A and B are shown apart, each in its own frame.
Chain A
Amino acid sequence: DTGVSQDPRHKITKRGQNVTFRCDPISEHNRLYWYRQTLGQGPEFLTYFQNEAQLEKSRLLSDRFSAERPKGSFSTLEIQRTEQGDSAMYLCASSLVGGGGTEAFFGQGTRLTVV
């Protein structure tokens, strides 16, 4: 296992279409995060899971966004009826539950362009 894997790396879609991204975390990691990053900004938190439970969702995550982690392993992020403002890099990260703080490891990201 070499790290967090995201698929696809790039996605170009027409406005109004639905898209789905996949994230495979580091195998023993039980926390999984989704972030979004736009040009000139830091990663913005979207949501996170501990095992299969979605524990927190950002207000940034509108009703058009849904994330799942059905068996506590891989996760999917779906965006319905995409808008041009959804164009961004979508980052997935995973970490291991431990006492105190732990670091999260990021995947390469999925670059979404809505045209």
Chain B
Amino acid sequence: DAMVIQNPRYQVTQFGKPVTLSCSQTLNHNVMYWYQQKSSQAPKLLFHYYDKDFNNEADTPDNFQSRRPNTSFCFLDIRSPGLGDAAMYLCATTTGVADTQYFGPGTRLTVL
């Protein structure tokens, strides 16, 4: 059974049109991460939540926001997508700060 679920798997949006990506987990993990992965590159951490505490990476653009309404769900909001934001967006979870991270299948975002 899938443990980290991302919806949708494929998302197409228009330049400047806000978009929200969803991640849910059945593992009851404390920590949830959002990564951006561009073609042929390693995943790049955008931010993470430890329970309700939000931690932004220093180089994450303000265009990217996140919400975690409860333990199971975390959302990535891109307020005004640009062409350069087209990428695979990966969600990951872990039980604690130094435990193994488990990734979801990703959402492939296309910006037209």
A and B bind:
no
